[in-house]
Structure 1
């Protein structure tokens, strides 16, 4: 005899199937909504603080370690135009990130069971906050310490006047590296939730993860000790946060039949 809980699970999404073309139309609409959100964020940022204001903001960490009257230079002919535009678009993506994640959520939500919806949305919000935290950590801590460390090795006869294009490219790679690396708790909790690994295995793997974290930091960051430590140490701490959160997350996100089986056992 079939288990009644299996029938309930099937009935929850019964009749919600849509033709493939309708899925494509839904995807098109969500992508358009994403573009609208990016456009609104870009217009708002163009009005205030403007491309020049954004450049001034991201240049604060390096200018703090340059002579008082020194400025970043633009070597390329079109750099004064394209670099601020690139920074504006990058900031617009960050500003619209919750909206973009919401559109992703609205696209996949109809195909999820109720218990899956219960943990998917908090994960999206938590992941967005972790990405913001990683980028803020770079802007307000890592860059200042990294440039301070680098300036100590600059000879007195050398004038350190970086090119704005190379500077933006360097910090953009750091933003992405830290934003992704700060997702460690999400990855750990999902691995435990889908029973790909146990919490006990994660604890026993702790020493290996520390080595992995330092290797990843060495690959993703510039060749200076400060930025490597600034990435590796938070990754190790976030790994511990993921282990702690995995226990509660697994209980919270269980399907009704899984909770019933756990209670009976």
Structure 2
């Protein structure tokens, strides 16, 4: 017997089965079938082999190139809602504190104007007294019925100057309070309202002094002189003068409020015109509530003035084509 193997197959191990190349070739029928879920979804091992991902050996931990999720900018338009550029949330306590501080600034301006007005209060009392009565130089002299009446009247008439100084300060402080929630175009409108408010307030006081008060005291004198000896009390008379003058200074802000509301998109001229009867009723109620005159003459004059200002503003808006 020979020592050489008769065949190489006796020396080599069992032959590995050969794969037929056509065995795994997809047929036309297999190509038409949709891929299974396991074929469509990448495996976790495949994701873990991605060099852009970090793993802990059990799964994907984070993306190396984008470790933190991104969120939309709060100032962007999200879902159709946009916010002003400086708008930010604040606790309610901070809002209340800011409002109180700004109100204190307004009161400080008003007190400063009143203090300055005290320097010329006596001259102002004499000037007003002898010009609001229709008799001119023959106006009935004022009467003082308690020791503090003259001093209180001086403070009251000085408060008119305080109102004129505090009114624009009030509007400007309101602007600073609302500024973070306003868009740039809204801020422009509001800033333009400050000098306009001063002018309208001064016009209201002049209107009261030149027209309303003379008519009112002529009416008082006419119905009282036939049956009584007229002696006007200094304090009560100036209570009516100051209340009416200050109230008309505020009433003359109606055109400004209407213009701001329309420019800011709060309302429209057409809607105001449709609801004019409700506004007329509100004007009459305010006039009778804040004008202390049991005869009804002063409230009627104030209510008519408010209605004329309202309708005049609507007419101007319609004339310029603003609906």
Q: How high is the TM-score relative to the length of structure 1? A: 0.70
Q: Of the candidates 133, 149, 154, which is equivalent to residue 84 of structure 1? A: 154
Say whether the 8 Å CA contact 2:252–2:309 is kept in structure 1. yes
Residue 207 of structure 1: how far off its partner (Å): 5.9
Partner of 1:12: 85
- Structural mapping, 1:237-252, within 5 Å: 237-244=308-315
Residue 35 of structure 1: how far off its partner (Å): 4.3
Q: Over the residues paired in the alignment, what is the CA RMSD in angstroms?
A: 3.9
Say whether the 8 Å CA contact 2:269–2:314 is kept in structure 1. yes
Q: Of the candidates 113, 129, 137, which is equivalent to residue 41 of structure 1? A: 113
- Structural mapping, 1:1-265, within 5 Å: 6=77, 9-10=82-83, 12-13=85-86, 16-17=88-89, 23=95, 26-27=98-99, 29-47=101-119, 50-65=120-135, 68=138, 70-156=140-226, 158-189=228-259, 192=262, 198-206=268-276, 213=283, 217=287, 221=291, 222=293, 227=298, 230-244=301-315
Distance 1:28 1:92 in 2: 19
Say whether the 8 Å CA contact 1:188–1:246 is kept in structure 2. no
Distance 2:279 2:163 in 1: 31
Change (3 A) 1:128 1:249: farther
Residue 157 of structure 1: how far off its partner (Å): 5.9
Change (3 A) 1:250 1:20: farther
Residue 144 of structure 1: how far off its partner (Å): 0.8
Q: How high is the TM-score relative to the length of structure 2? A: 0.60
Q: Which moved more, 1:38-47 or 1:133-142?
A: 38-47
SS of the residue 1:6 aligns to: coil
Report which of the two structures shows the higher radius of gyration computed on alpha carbons.
2
Distance 2:213 2:139 in 1: 20
Q: Which runs of 5+ in 1 are unaligned?
A: 252-265
Higher relative CO (Cα under 8 Å, sequence separation at least 6) belongs to: 1
Distance 2:168 2:141 in 1: 34
Deviations 1:104-133 (A, max 9, x none): 322332332212212222334434433332
Q: Which has the higher helix share?
A: 1
Deviations 1:21-46 (A, max 9, x none): 65566445534533443343234323
Q: Which runs of 5+ in 2 are unaligned?
A: 1-71
Change (3 A) 1:216 1:11: closer
Residue 162 of structure 1: how far off its partner (Å): 0.8
Residue 249 of structure 1: how far off its partner (Å): 10
